[in-house]
Amino acid sequence: MLFICLFYVFYFLLFLLQVLGCDYAIRGEIVSHAQRLQHELQNKPGSHPFNEILYFNVGNPQSLGQKAITFFREVLVLCDHPPLLDKSETHALFSGDAIARARLILDVIPGRTTGGYSDTLGVKGLRDAVAAGIASRDGFPANPDDVFLTDGATPAVHIIMQLLIRSEKDGILCPIPQYPLYSASIFLHGGSLVPYYLDESTGWGLEIAELKKQLDDARSKGITVRALVVINPGNPTGQVLAKENQKQIVDFCKNEGLVLLADEVYQDNVYVDDKKFNSFKKIARSMGYEDEDLLLVSIHSVSKGYYGECGKRGGYMEVTGFGKEVKEQICKVAIVNLCFSNISGQILVSLVMNPPKVGDESYESFNAEKQGILSSLARRAKALEDAFNGLEGVTCNKAEGAMYLFPRLHLPQKAIEAAKAVDAAPDMFYARCLLDATGIVVVPGSGFGQVPGTWHIRCTILPQEEKIPGIICRLQAFHEAFMQQFRD
């Protein structure tokens, strides 16, 4: 009995150490300080040189003023309260295709209610709809049995890491800079992060030579590299991969026996005419690879795009190339949680993958809302990119997609020394000074990883468009004063 107790104590302490080692900069020290400042402003107006906190730290569109898509919300309301479908006045308040879609969705949900548990992997009829949407997007068949509906992208990442990582000798190739969910999840599950560096000088390019170098180095240290994470469009870097580059990545994973973990949650956020989103599944199928030829996990979410439904927690992962036994293990994880996803989130995923089409009653209004949001995001990205590039000692690559900019700070030596004096990374020091002076919340690049000796910040492009000029003025005034203070 004593041995068993000591065994569990040991593993509890090991897990605690793993949790303590996790870092999630997006909601880290800077955000905690911003929340304290916000509380002080509420209790004592005028106590700081700004009157509001401007959150540029997290991709949370609707909290910053982005409107929900009307068609999606109409369907959700009707599914949440089915008695509305039988009221005559409903037809005056809701579009006909939203009413029809809600009826179809309720017909496939057990008990016709969003208040119950779903099937373990998601409602079968909604998985069918998501698979149909994937097939329509890619031009290749999709099997509903490969689709697992989840509470956003985060649980999907944790599930895959849990299945891939057996010990610290199992490694995951992960981009640097990267979304800190990946480093945190790898650490939490006891694995090793194997970094590969994106090339800032080529617009955050992903070079196969760099992948091969880092893979060989990890293997020489006795690490079994199990998977390659690719975020496309990029977070925090905003690049969109070219089709030829994606083909190279697919071949690399096939030849090296790696699982390709494709984070594709920003697939609708592309702002340049010379690039377009292509799923890795579409690329692989166009190259002639079938399911059994490539181990591929594709992840999507309703939190980003033009819909920005972060609070609804909907997403999916499509798992192809794996044997039956692996999918059974995924099912075991799901069974522990009763189901992977809430039903409202599942409904939203089915709508995102099957929006109104040309000829539908809601199509014109839906398309106007969608294009209005995306074109505004593109303008905001360009305005902020130009503003950063106009600052002394700052360079910023183009935001081709996603919701972020990742400008590089070329800081004076005196600023670096000042940061060291308060035991802070230089980009953390800059972000803290920016917040204290302006109320603008950005995330230090050190929270995402960066080439040693370089410093960055990540900011979103999400604050309302009419606020951007004023924000830029604040930023410019702060930066000029900062550089003047610390200029060598």
pLDDT (tens digit per residue) in 95-124: 999 999 999 999 999 999 999 888 888 999
Could you tell me if 26 and 112 lie in one domain?
no
Q: Which of 302, 322, 353 is the last residue of a domain?
A: 353
- CATH code of 117's domain: 3.40.640.10
Residue 221 lies in a domain: yes
Residue 411 lies in a domain: yes
- Residue pair 122/149 in contact (Cβ under 8 Å)? The answer is yes
Residue 433 lies in a domain: yes
Residue 473 lies in a domain: yes
Residue 61 lies in a domain: no
CA distance 488 to 421: 16
Q: Which of 305, 323, 353 is the last residue of a domain?
A: 353
Could you tell me if 244 and 155 lie in one domain?
yes
- Residue pair 307/68 in contact (Cβ under 8 Å)? The answer is yes
Q: Which SS3 state, helix, strand or coil, does residue 77 take? A: helix
Q: Residue 326: how many CB atoms within 10 A of its CB?
A: 13
pLDDT (tens digit per residue) in 192-222: 999 999 999 999 999 999 999 999 999 999 9
Could you tell me if 422 and 324 lie in one domain?
no
Could you tell me if 205 and 310 lie in one domain?
yes
The packing angle between helices 153-164 and 324-336, to 10°, is 120
pLDDT at residue 333, as a whole number: 75
pLDDT at residue 339, as a whole number: 63
Full domain range(s) for residue 434: 2-48+368-486
Could you tell me if 117 and 228 lie in one domain?
yes
Could you tell me if 36 and 113 lie in one domain?
no
Could you tell me if 127 and 245 lie in one domain?
yes
Residue 385 lies in a domain: yes
H-helix segments, 44-95: 70-80, 90-93
Q: Could you tell me which residues come within 8 angstroms of residue 205 by beta carbon, excluding any fewer than 6 positions away?
A: 198, 199, 239, 245
pLDDT (tens digit per residue) in 290-309: 988 999 999 999 999 999 99
Could you tell me if 209 and 112 lie in one domain?
yes
Q: Which residues of the chain have pLDDT under 70?
A: 1-27, 334, 336-339, 488
Could you tell me if 22 and 121 lie in one domain?
no
Could you tell me if 254 and 321 lie in one domain?
yes
Q: Could you tell me which residues come within 8 angstroms of residue 453 by beta carbon, excluding any fewer than 6 positions away?
A: none
Could you tell me if 221 and 147 lie in one domain?
yes
- CATH code of 475's domain: 3.90.1150.10
Complete DSSP assignment for 276-343 = ----HHHHHHHTT--GGG--EEEEEESSSTTT--GGG--EEEEEES--HHHHHHHHHHHHHTS-SS-H
pTM, two decimals, is 0.91
Number of structural domains (the chain) is 2
- Residue pair 181/155 in contact (Cβ under 8 Å)? The answer is no
- Relative to beta strand 408-409, strand 394-395 is antiparallel
